[in-house]
Structure 1
Amino acid sequence: MTQATSSSSRPLRVSRAGSPLSGTLSVPGDKSISHRALMFSALAEGKTHITGLLEGEDVLRTADAMRALGAQIVREENGNWHVTGQGLGALTEPADVLDMGNSGTAARLLSGVLASHGIMSVMTGDASLRRRPMKRVTDPLAGTGAVFLAREGGRLPLAIQGNASPAPLDYRLPVASAQVKSAVLLAGLNAEGETRVEEPVPTRDHTENMLRHFGATVQVEQTPEGGRVIRLQGRPKLTARDVVVPGDPSSAAFVVVAALLVPGSDVVIAGVGLNPLRTGLFTTLREMGARLDITNERIEGGEPVGDLHVRASSLQGVDVPADRAPSMIDEYPILAVAAGYATGVSRFRGVEELRVKESDRLASTVALLEQNGVHTKVDGDDLIVFGTAGAIPGGGLVETHMDHRLAMSASVLGLVAQQPVEIDDTAFIDTSFPGYFGLLNQLGAGFAA
């Protein structure tokens, strides 16, 4: 690893892997489920035990926020967590600003919780999060009667005056977004009557699953157009329930693609969450010719789980339909790396949501590939990648813009590029995948320490 340019940044030079990746590992707990486990258990009555919680920076910020709002949260030495909640509507006003770090999920979901409690709060985040738009959440949440004050464009810092008697919402999402859907449902928890959300395309349903797990009544109907309508009965009694967090499929994605691309690799990833609304990447990779098998399938904590057996494969270009985007929205940068290594042309349709992630992920993904000799084209809301048939030139500098997924994608590209790849900063990978480099080195990746 090159010397850091400041006390916080961690640049990295990645060279081509010298040997196949081999072995069995587990990836950290699912980030989406970890956020929700902390929030929902803080709103429930009694003590919830959480096993497998992701201890990345994003989730730890959520734990800090829920403590500041009155929940008792304790981590045991064995890595298990205990959360004692006071019940729905019983959050207390925080004494200080809630700093959500880099986590858009935490900020947006917590906005729904705060809007429906009669307390005053202020949320902020790091430089990356303060650039991300919040109006897509605050606009519908204003219908509860809560008041929001934000910077231009609805950006953080965000002051929220919640409403102790919020009105239920009836909202149709203009674009598919699990975060907006979840924020509206969370606001509806403390509202009298029924909250209704219609989504044009099904998005990850961890919120609906966990609401049921804690005792809420949630009904889901399919629409004739292929979307869904979710109905939540307000003011349920949420009761503490133990939660087992499965391995995060979005984190597993980087290991999967590395194993597919590094010649001769044979890797097993144990205990990965296989929620069908999160596995679009695995479906797509199989369409490209990936040798990716799922074994030991089971249900844990209401979520499907299984082991992934991945072997190096010759991949072909793929045309990914727009309606698959919600089930793999976080995985497009690493899929783009796979497409750059594949033979033929790949087209990812309807990826406009990438523009409002931790960075403009569409522009950043294009830059990642182009800087390393992979030709791309943006056609409206579609990304086209021209595969190199296993001959990515490399040799470029990747600017990560504080985006953890972009940094990990660049590291995988470096393992198969012909020339070393420079990454400007990898420090923030720990927000979602603590120990990433060490874990891949156990398989033989050879990242410099």
Structure 2
Amino acid sequence: MIRLDEVSSHQQLVITPPQSGLSLQGTVTIPGDKSISHRALMLGAIAEGETVIEGLLLGEDPRSTAACFSAMGAEISELNSTEVRVKGVGLGNLQEPDNVLDAGNSGTTMRLMMGLLASSSDRFFAVTGDGSLRSRPMSRVVKPLQEMGAQIWGKKGGSLAPLGIKGTQLKGIHYHSPIASAQVKSCVLLAGLLAEGKTTVTEPALSRDHSERMLRAFGANLEIDSETNSVTLEPHPTLVGQKVVVPGDISSAAFWMVASAIVPDSDLLIQNVGVNPTRTGIIEAMQLMGADMTLENSREVAGEPVADLRVKYSQLKGCTIGGEIIPRLIDEVPILAVAACFAEGTTIIKDAEELRVKESDRLAVMAAELGKMGANIIEHPDGLEITGGATLNGAEMDSYTDHRIAMSLAIAALNAKSETKIHRAEAASISYPTFVDTLKDVCQIA
């Protein structure tokens, strides 16, 4: 049985595995990619002419992006997953809003938007978010923007929102990012669109490249140096509205990949998954653990590689996951931790300290919540050590208002021996509004 209960001011997801056993069967169509949805809305808002977006994610985070750019003059039609039309204001023409821009829970909205605001000369912007976002570090984008000449004020020396930004003429720089972060890279590149001179970002490892792909599609001139993990942007391009088809989000697909791999006798086909090489770390990690997974119907849609994934139950094996693969699966570490609970031997996840400054401290939260179920899990400063094989029992747990925590715990609950209750389960709607309905469908539970 799977149900959502209203408890006080939040939703509680209750999962009771059937006594006769459970297997997951069928076909899953996942929501649009969150990263691509954000970027399509933003670039459409600053381009000339009209952008048409098909397959937009209807989660809370893209809604925050749409609301912010609507407040700055872009005309954005009602959001839906079929077709969204964006009439842009043109590069450099974002309007000074009448009120504070609210990014909600979306770090992508705030960090990427700041690059555009900082370069909007002679206009003032105030940006904030919910309690979680106001506690997350913004210095990682404030620092390079200030090197470009940006004027930014905020709590703790500009390291925390709320933030005030006075747009000004920026200068291009070569920024050597200390972390591999698509948000940092994208923010600096967006700031460089109106800068004096070229802007280059070099990373210690390759992060997702959706911004580079989409900037090129809209008309920007970029040079990619894969040997040094560098990208260079020429300033002052003419950005023209495009048709964008958003593939399914591999981060959302990851929940079903793991679920089908750990629940006996399961066989799921996950359709229309974006398999951009900068995002496929989760596939590589699952294959390293011995998952029975095949890619079918590989194709390209609007410049992004897409495939269908078939995943069947298999006995997973522990392994070590770290190094250059981590930036390519950073959002999938919580669900990987669940997979590790059902693998033979020990799985070590390392080099993932970035997870401590996400919507929650995901390392601490996953260690604590899976520990409540009886998992053999040890938290390290940069990761987790999980010895599989322990029997998981149902428990009363909390999502910490983190969408990926809520969904990861729900998948773990499918293999528990008794009822699980997950508080604040509504967090899943941030990136996957139909998660619970899809869970019922694949479990064939009413």
- TM band (smaller chain): over 0.9
- After TM superposition, give the deviation of residue 150 of structure 1 in Å: 1.1
2:161 corresponds to which residue? Answer: 156
Letter in 1 for 2:170: P
Letter in 2 for 1:158: L
Q: Following the alignment from structure 1 to structure 2, what is the Cα–Cα distance between the partners of residues 34 and 59?
A: 7
Q: Which runs of 5+ in 2 are unaligned?
A: none
Q: Does 1:110 align with 2:113?
A: yes
Q: Does 1:6 align with 2:5?
A: no
- After TM superposition, give the deviation of residue 167 of structure 1 in Å: 1.2
1:245 corresponds to which residue? Answer: 246
Task: Tell me, yes or no, if the aligned pair for 1:270 and 1:306 is still in contact at 8 Å.
Answer: yes
Letter in 2 for 1:67: S
- After TM superposition, give the deviation of residue 195 of structure 1 in Å: 0.2
2:132 corresponds to which residue? Answer: 128
Q: Does 1:328 align with 2:329?
A: yes
Q: Following the alignment from structure 1 to structure 2, what is the Cα–Cα distance between the partners of residues 239 and 71?
A: 14
Q: TM-score, with normalisation over the residues of structure 1?
A: 0.95
Task: Tell me, yes or no, if the aligned pair for 1:169 and 1:184 is still in contact at 8 Å.
Answer: no
Instruction: Map 1:204-283 to 2 at 5 A.
Output: 204-223=208-227, 227-283=228-284
Task: Tell me, yes or no, if the aligned pair for 2:137 and 2:160 is still in contact at 8 Å.
Answer: yes
1:435 corresponds to which residue? Answer: 434
Q: Following the alignment from structure 2 to structure 1, what is the Cα–Cα distance between the partners of residues 60 and 380?
A: 35
1:96 corresponds to which residue? Answer: 99
2:190 corresponds to which residue? Answer: 186
Q: Which runs of 5+ in 1 are unaligned?
A: none
1:299–1:152 distance in 2 versus 1, CA, 3 Å: same
- After TM superposition, give the deviation of residue 2 of structure 1 in Å: 6.3
Give CA deviations for 1:67-90 in whole Å, capped at 9, x if unaligned: 111111113777310001121101
**Aligned-partner SS, 2:131:** coil
Q: Following the alignment from structure 1 to structure 2, what is the Cα–Cα distance between the partners of residues 334 and 382?
A: 13
Q: Following the alignment from structure 1 to structure 2, what is the Cα–Cα distance between the partners of residues 438 and 2?
A: 10
Q: Following the alignment from structure 1 to structure 2, what is the Cα–Cα distance between the partners of residues 110 and 266?
A: 41
Q: Following the alignment from structure 2 to structure 1, what is the Cα–Cα distance between the partners of residues 81 and 364?
A: 41
- After TM superposition, give the deviation of residue 152 of structure 1 in Å: 2.3
1:376 corresponds to which residue? Answer: 377
Q: Following the alignment from structure 2 to structure 1, what is the Cα–Cα distance between the partners of residues 275 and 405?
A: 23
1:201–1:21 distance in 2 versus 1, CA, 3 Å: same
Task: Tell me, yes or no, if the aligned pair for 1:410 and 1:423 is still in contact at 8 Å.
Answer: yes
Task: Tell me, yes or no, if the aligned pair for 1:115 and 1:144 is still in contact at 8 Å.
Answer: no
Letter in 2 for 1:262: V
2:90 corresponds to which residue? Answer: 87
- After TM superposition, give the deviation of residue 171 of structure 1 in Å: 0.5
- After TM superposition, give the deviation of residue 12 of structure 1 in Å: 1.8
1:379–1:440 distance in 2 versus 1, CA, 3 Å: closer
Q: Following the alignment from structure 1 to structure 2, what is the Cα–Cα distance between the partners of residues 282 and 261?
A: 15
Task: Tell me, yes or no, if the aligned pair for 1:257 and 1:338 is still in contact at 8 Å.
Answer: yes
Task: Tell me, yes or no, if the aligned pair for 1:69 and 1:91 is still in contact at 8 Å.
Answer: yes
Q: Following the alignment from structure 1 to structure 2, what is the Cα–Cα distance between the partners of residues 318 and 419?
A: 28
Q: Following the alignment from structure 1 to structure 2, what is the Cα–Cα distance between the partners of residues 34 and 2?
A: 27
The alignment covers a number of residue pairs equal to: 440
Letter in 2 for 1:93: E
Letter in 1 for 2:95: T
1:93–1:329 distance in 2 versus 1, CA, 3 Å: same
1:129–1:175 distance in 2 versus 1, CA, 3 Å: same
Letter in 2 for 1:441: K
2:423 corresponds to which residue? Answer: 424
Letter in 1 for 2:210: H
Range moving further from structure 2, 26-35 or 410-419: 410-419
**Aligned-partner SS, 1:272:** strand
- After TM superposition, give the deviation of residue 260 of structure 1 in Å: 1.1
Task: Tell me, yes or no, if the aligned pair for 2:58 and 2:81 is still in contact at 8 Å.
Answer: no
Letter in 2 for 1:61: S
- After TM superposition, give the deviation of residue 123 of structure 1 in Å: 1.0
Q: Following the alignment from structure 2 to structure 1, what is the Cα–Cα distance between the partners of residues 210 and 444?
A: 32
Q: Following the alignment from structure 1 to structure 2, what is the Cα–Cα distance between the partners of residues 173 and 290?
A: 34
1:314 corresponds to which residue? Answer: 315
Task: Tell me, yes or no, if the aligned pair for 2:153 and 2:163 is still in contact at 8 Å.
Answer: yes
Task: Tell me, yes or no, if the aligned pair for 1:415 and 1:445 is still in contact at 8 Å.
Answer: no
- After TM superposition, give the deviation of residue 13 of structure 1 in Å: 2.1
Instruction: Map 1:271-310 to 2 at 5 A.
Output: 271-310=272-311
1:298–1:3 distance in 2 versus 1, CA, 3 Å: closer
Task: Tell me, yes or no, if the aligned pair for 1:367 and 1:398 is still in contact at 8 Å.
Answer: no
1:40 corresponds to which residue? Answer: 43
Q: Does 1:407 align with 2:410?
A: no
- After TM superposition, give the deviation of residue 244 of structure 1 in Å: 0.3
**Aligned-partner SS, 1:11:** strand
- After TM superposition, give the deviation of residue 321 of structure 1 in Å: 2.5
- After TM superposition, give the deviation of residue 410 of structure 1 in Å: 0.4
- After TM superposition, give the deviation of residue 395 of structure 1 in Å: 2.6
Identify which of 40, 49, 53 aligns with 2:52. Answer: 49
